Structure 1
Amino acid sequence: MLTLLTAMYLVVRAAYAQAEPIRVLVTGAAGQIAYSLLFSIAKGDVFGKDQPIILVLLDIPPMLPVLDGVVMELQDCALPLLREVIPTDKVEVGFKDLDAAILVGSMPRKEGMERKDLLKANVAIFKTQGAALDKYAKKTVKVLVVGNPANTNCLIASKSAPSIPKENFSCLTRLDHNRARSQVAMRAGVSSDKVKNVIIWGNHSSTQYPDVHHATVSLSGKEVPAYEAVKNDSWLRGDFISTVQQRGAAVIKARKLSSAMSAAKAICDHMRDIWFGTPDGEFVSMGVYSTGNSYGISDDLMYSFPVTIKNKTWQVVNALPINDFSRAKMDTTAAELIEERDTALTFLSA
């Protein structure tokens, strides 16, 4: 019996040892969000504790010396799952045979820059990256767009990669989701894991709608509606929403830099849920492709919905009741996304 158990153990161990590494791309890899992100990916916190990783780090040519330093640090961490680190400024190297792509790099808005100029610059970036995904990556690649304006950048990337299913593209609203969850938890006097099913609707911008009408809070082992747990409807319909909407700006004002640590954590949460699925009875917020069949939102947008994930496939949580207050806010953020999309598409076709 012992011999049989030993043999089984050796077979399982050998199977793990022989697991093929997955190729994970991070763009903007010399930036501060990537610096907070790469260790968690390489350590196994995102794709699994038994999944070897090849990290591909893409940035613009002037940042290659910085990438060399990042590579040295990753090597010095002596992480057993990290099989290779590839720094590059070439898309044919960066996008080759990818299993996952985390597109962090984008053109930031500079002082005096109009929104249309920002969109034009980012259309050029994400058109190029989408085309590279289409040409070089696996057709099963899962693509997460982080660089702002994330929803519209994600749409442009997906349109520029027609051979990859649009369902494989998503944009990051998990940071906003986590912010909303934390705000409710602090107000209710519980830890954030006691709050579930908050929703971020729409755009990752100041028009987003953090919604807790379907959220619950675990109090003394009992699930109660968030409104009942917080006991302050005016706060939930006022300061709570504006706090989540403006949180990124508040972080920049306080630390003179953008929110890198919390963004990296949200990226990890988002990709881990894609890889391993969402817990039963819980949904999360993701910007995904709208087909016009969910909540009356126009098609051909990357709009943040509540989703569940199983077998690396997301499904919008449909049929949640929507009151007039929520409807108005959902439509406002959709209108902004429509305007962004239409402006961006003029540059895409130019």
Structure 2
Amino acid sequence: MSTARVKSRTKHNVPSEAEPIRVVVTGAAGQIAYSLLYSIAKGDVFGKDQPIILVLLDIPPMLPVLDGVVMELQDCALPLLREVIPTDKVEVGFKDLDAAILVGSMPRKEGMERKDLLKANVAIFKAQGAALDKYAKKTVKVLVVGNPANTNCLIASKSAPSIPKENFSCLTRLDHNRASSQVAIRCGVPADNVKNVIIWGNHSSTQYPDVHHAKVTVQGSEVAAYDAVKDDAWLKGEFISTVQLRGAAVIKARKLSSAMSAAKAICDHMRDIWFGTKEGEFISMGVYAGGNSYGIPEDLIYSFPIQLKNKGWKVVDGLPINDFSRAKMEATAAELVDERDTAMAFLSQ
């Protein structure tokens, strides 16, 4: 064994520690972040041997709350957590980042029109995109969670021209998990017995949860979801509306938006970017639509079936699309085109 090799080992013959990666969570004083930060800091996302520097970014009035979050993270005594940095400054928050999880956005308030919501969020994500462009690593992986997530992601990407478009994605994994779970419950199997559901389009009530290509393992055999469920009317009706409207149903019941399930979906999404998807499986994420084979307008962030490897993604091409699916895919694309055009008008102001 060479000397250099010996030096890179500890006395227990374990490889020496990896360099910490730097991860920012925006909206870090909010409830999604509260469910998310522990999972990141304990190694559930980036690996059980990957040290983390966690940057918590929020607006100035939330800094006292962030101090409490920092105390709790310290009190968890997590071995991988090297440093926690609370801040309200983008130059601190976005410096030298390996990963950015953009949770913070302007929520829709009662009586607020969608265009008002878009206008407020264009300002936020234009500023954050510009800060990423200026301060983060060019290899940074950016996940946009704050709604309207697809269009916010597009604005952030356009405001960060030196970072590849492929490095930006938005969260539709929560919808994907909801769809998988609904099928699993219907078939009486564990959730991981369902694979390859697809969320097409926008993270909104126009999204299309599609199980035409999904498989369910029932009593040891893998069968098509339609054959496992044996209820086409449910799959084309109530199943779709349940997934589309699930966020609103949670708010109605809990008087708060989905936080635990959103945090779990963020972890799933980022872990798959870091470690890849399983052979023969795909997940859903909102990505830049350029060059897609499904006829979706190109200058959008649109949710597709995705496979990941070596921190890069590709759209699963060539899946047969029937007329029922085509109509729903086009309807959600039309909403995204409308959102994009409204947002771009604000962006140019």
- Equivalent position SS for 2:292: coil
1:137 lines up with 2:165 in the alignment: no
Deviates more, 1:82-91 or 1:287-296: 287-296
- Equivalent position SS for 1:163: coil
Which letter maps to 2:195?
Answer: K
Query: d(CA) in 1 for partners of 2:318 and 2:73?
Result: 45
Q: Which residues of structure 1 form unaligned runs of 5+?
A: 1-5
Cα pair distance change 1:118/1:76, threshold 3 Å: same
Cα pair distance change 1:298/1:10, threshold 3 Å: same
Contact 1:200 1:208 in 2 (8 A): yes
Matched residue, 2:302: 303
Q: Give 1:324-343 correspondences, 5 Å limit.
A: 324-343=323-342
Which letter maps to 1:244?
Answer: V
Q: Give 1:53-92 correspondences, 5 Å limit.
A: 53-92=52-91
Contact 1:24 1:100 in 2 (8 A): yes
Q: Which residues of structure 2 form unaligned runs of 5+?
A: 1-5
Matched residue, 2:227: 228
Which letter maps to 2:287?
Answer: V
Matched residue, 1:15: 15
The alpha-carbon deviation at position 14 of structure 1 amounts to 5.4
The alpha-carbon deviation at position 16 of structure 1 amounts to 3.5
Deviation by residue 1:215-261 (Cα, 9 ceiling, x = unmatched): 00001211100000000000000000000000000000000000000
Aligned-residue RMSD, C-alpha: 1.3
Which letter maps to 1:137?
Answer: A
Matched residue, 1:287: 286
Which letter maps to 2:191?
Answer: S
Query: d(CA) in 1 for partners of 2:51 and 2:16?
Result: 9
TM score, norm. by length of structure 2? 0.97
Which letter maps to 1:127?
Answer: K
- Equivalent position SS for 1:54: strand
Deviates more, 1:210-219 or 1:8-17: 8-17
Contact 2:292 2:315 in 1 (8 A): no
Q: Give 1:1-350 correspondences, 5 Å limit.
A: 10=10, 15-17=15-17, 19-350=18-349
Matched residue, 1:3: none
Cα pair distance change 1:9/1:218, threshold 3 Å: farther
- Equivalent position SS for 2:16: helix
Contact 2:9 2:16 in 1 (8 A): no
Query: d(CA) in 2 for partners of 1:29 and 1:14?
Result: 34
Deviation by residue 1:23-65 (Cα, 9 ceiling, x = unmatched): 0000000000000000000000000000000000000000000
Query: d(CA) in 2 for partners of 1:294 and 1:307?
Result: 13
Query: d(CA) in 2 for partners of 1:12 and 1:279?
Result: 32
Deviates more, 1:37-46 or 1:286-295: 286-295
Cα pair distance change 1:317/1:11, threshold 3 Å: farther
Deviation by residue 1:328-350 (Cα, 9 ceiling, x = unmatched): 00000000000000000000010
Aligned-pair identity in percent equals 84
Contact 1:292 1:298 in 2 (8 A): no
Contact 2:9 2:15 in 1 (8 A): no
| Deviating 4+ runs (over 4 angstroms) | 6-9, 11-14
Cα pair distance change 1:134/1:189, threshold 3 Å: same
Which letter maps to 2:266?
Answer: I
Query: d(CA) in 1 for partners of 2:269 and 2:110?
Result: 31
Query: d(CA) in 2 for partners of 1:14 and 1:69?
Result: 35
TM score, norm. by length of structure 1? 0.97
Which letter maps to 1:257?
Answer: L
Which letter maps to 1:90?
Answer: K
Contact 1:174 1:267 in 2 (8 A): yes
Query: d(CA) in 1 for partners of 2:10 and 2:34?
Result: 37
Contact 1:290 1:299 in 2 (8 A): yes
Contact 2:33 2:103 in 1 (8 A): yes
Contact 2:91 2:135 in 1 (8 A): yes
Contact 2:275 2:310 in 1 (8 A): yes
Matched residue, 2:3: none
